[in-house]
Amino acid sequence: MNENFLSRHRQLLIVWALLLTVPFWLPMLGGYTALAGRVVVFALAAMSFNLLLGFTGIMSFGHAAYFGLGAYGCGLFMKFVTASTLLGVLAGTLVGGIAGTLFGLLLVRRRGVYFAMVTIAFGQVCFYIAYKWDEFTGGYDGLRGFARAPIDFGIFKLDIAASNNAFYYFVVAIFGLAVGLQALILKSPFGRTMLAIRENERRARFLGIPIEKHIWLAFSISCFFTALAGSLYALLNNFADPLGLNYIMSGNIVMITVMGGMRTFWGPLVGAVLFVALQDYVSSMTTNWMFFVGLTFVAVVLFFPRGLMGMLQKRAGT
Amino acid sequence: MSTVPKLEVKGATKQFGSLVAVSDVSMRVMPGELRAVIGPNGAGKTTFFNLITGFFPPTSGDILLDGQNINSIPAAGRVKLGMGRTFQITEIFPELTVRENARIAVETGLGFSLRGWLTGADEKRVRDASDEVMTMANLTAKADRLVGELSHGDQRSAEIAMALALKPTLLLLDEPTAGMGDEETYQVTGLIRRLHRDSKYTIVLIEHDMRVVFHLADRISVLAEGKLLAEGTPAEIAANEHVQNAYLGKAE
Q: How far apart are the first and last CA of chain B?
A: 37
Q: Which of B128, B211, B24, B103 is nearest to A189 (CA)?
A: B103
> What residues of B are in contact with residue A209 (Cβ under 8 Å)?
76, 108
Residues B99-126 pLDDT 10s: 999 999 998 887 766 666 777 777 888 8
Q: Is the pLDDT of residue B150 over 50?
A: yes
Read off the pLDDT of each residue in B137-147 and give the average, rounded to a whole number: 89
Closest-CA distance of chain A to residue B236, Å:
34
**What count of residues does chain A have?**
318
Check CB contact of A112 with chain B, cutoff 8 Å.
no
Partners of residue B91 in chain A, C-beta under 8 Å: 200, 202-203, 206
Q: Is B112 on the interface with A (CB under 8 A)?
A: yes
Mean pLDDT of B128-134: 89
Residue B91: closest CA among B38, B39, B53, B56: B53
B225: left (phi over 0), alpha (psi -120 to 50) or beta: left
Q: State residue A148's pLDDT score.
A: 83
Helix (H, G, I), strand (E, B) or coil at B204: strand
Residues 6+ apart with CB under 8 A from A107: A115, A118, A119, A216, A219
CB contacts < 8 A (A, B) = 62
* pLDDT for res B2: 56
3-class state of residue A145 by DSSP = coil
Kindly report the nearest CA distance between residue A104 and chain B, in angstroms.
22
Q: Which of A31-45, A244-258, A271-285, B102-116 has the lowest mean pLDDT?
A: B102-116
**What is the rounded average pLDDT for all residues in chain A?**
87
Residue A65, class by beta-carbon neighbours within 10 Å (0-12 exposed, 13-18 middle, 19+ buried)?
buried
Confidence band for B252, pLDDT divided at 50, 70 and 90: very low
Quick one: what percent of chain A has pLDDT higher than 70? 97
Q: Do A210 and B93 touch (CB under 8 A)?
A: no
Q: Name the pLDDT band for A40 (thresholds 50, 70, 90).
A: very high
Q: Are B164 and B136 in contact (CB under 8 A)?
A: yes
Confidence of residue A64 (pLDDT cuts 50, 70, 90): very high
* Predicted confidence (pLDDT) at residue B185 exceeds the cutoff of 60: yes
Q: How many Cα atoms occupy the beta-carbon half-sphere of B185 within 13 Å?
A: 16
> How far apart (Å, rounded) are the C-alpha atoms in residues B27 and A92?
59
Are the CB atoms for A209 and A193 separated by under 8 Å? yes
The yes-or-no verdict on residue B1 having pLDDT over 70 is no
DSSP string, A189-231: HHHHHHHHHHH-HHHHHHTT--HHHHHHHHHHHHHHHHHHHHH
CB A151, CB A85: distance < 8 Å: yes
> Domain B1-82+171-252, what fold?
Rossmann fold (3.40.50)
**The dihedral formed by the CA atoms of B140, B143, B149 and B153, expressed in degrees to the nearest 10:** 30
> Total domain count for chain A?
1
Burial A96-119 (b: 16+ CB within 10 A, else e): bbbbbbebbeebbeeeeeebbebb
* Span(s) in chain B for CATH 3.40.50.300: 1-82+171-252
Of chain B, the percentage scoring pLDDT greater than 90 comes to: 14
CB neighbour list of residue B239: distance below 8 Å, 6 or more residues apart: none
Residue A194 contacts B where some CB pair is shorter than 8 Å: no
* Identity of the residue numbered A76: L
Place B251 in a pLDDT band, splitting at 50, 70 and 90.
very low
ipTM score assigned to the predicted complex:
0.78
Whether B80 has its CB under 8 Å from any CB of chain A: the answer is yes
Kindly state whether A184 is in contact with chain B, defined as any CB-CB distance less than 8 angstroms.
no
pLDDT at A318 over 60: no
Domain coverage including residue A131: 31-247
Please answer whether residues A311 and A261 qualify as being in contact, where contact means their C-beta atoms are separated by less than 8 angstroms: yes
Q: What is the mean pLDDT of residues A41-69?
A: 93
Single-letter amino acid code for the residue at A40? V
The full DSSP string for B90-103 is ----TTSBHHHHHH
Residue B62 has pLDDT above 70, yes or no: yes
**Chain A residues with CB inside 8 Å of B87's CB?**
202-203, 206
Distance between CA atoms of A57 and A53, rounded to whole angstroms?
5
pTM (two decimals): 0.84
Residue of higher predicted confidence among B135 and A162: B135
**How far apart are the C-alpha atoms of A183 and A146, rounded to whole Å?**
33
Contacting residues of A for B108, CB less than 8 Å apart: 193, 207-209
Q: Give tens-digit pLDDT for A123-141.
A: 888 888 888 887 788 777 7
Average pLDDT over residues B220-234: 88
Do A209 and B92 count as a contact with CB atoms less than 8 A apart?
Answer: no
Domain assignment of residue A10, yes or no: no
Give me the DSSP letters along B16-71.
Answer: ETTEEEEEEEEEEE-TT-EEEEE-STTSSHHHHHHHHHTSS--SEEEEEETTEE-T
Q: What mean pLDDT is predicted for residues B60-87?
A: 87
Beta-carbon separation of B166 and A205 below 8 A: no
- Cα–Cα distance between A50 and B197 in angstroms, integer? 47
A207 Cα to chain B: minimum distance (Å) = 6
d(CA A270, CA A266): 7
Best A1, A184, A195, A199 member to test B by mutation, with max B CBs in 10 Å, is A199
pLDDT 10s digits, A88-136: 999 999 999 999 999 999 888 888 788 888 888 888 888 888 888 877 8
Q: Considering CB atoms only, which of B95, B109, B112 is closest to A199?
A: B95
Residue A52 lies in a domain: yes
For residues A92 and B198, give the distance between their C-alpha atoms in angstroms, rounded to a whole number.
Answer: 59
Give the model confidence (pLDDT) of A294-315 as tens digits.
899 899 989 888 888 888 887 7
pLDDT at B18: 86
A30 CB-near residues (< 8 Å, 6+ apart):
none
Q: Who contacts B159 (Cβ-Cβ below 8 Å, separation ≥6)? A: A203, B86, B87, B90, B91, B92
A220-234 confidence digits (pLDDT tens):
999 999 999 999 999
pLDDT at A5 (0 to 100): 61
pLDDT computed for residue B113 by the predictor:
67
Cα gap A238→A270, rounded to integer Å: 25
Residue A138 lies in a domain: yes
Share of chain A above pLDDT 90, in %: 42
Which of B75, B91, B93 lies closest to A195 in CB terms? B93
Integer CA distances (angstroms), B46 to B14, B175, B243, in order: 12, 9, 19
- CA torsion, ordered B149, B150, B156, B160, to nearest 10 deg: -90
User: Comparing B183 with A219, which gets the higher pLDDT?
Assistant: A219
The yes-or-no verdict on residue B171 having pLDDT over 80 is: yes
Asked if the Cβ–Cβ distance from A188 to B75 is below 8 Å, we say no
Chain A, nearest residue to B54 by Cα: A206
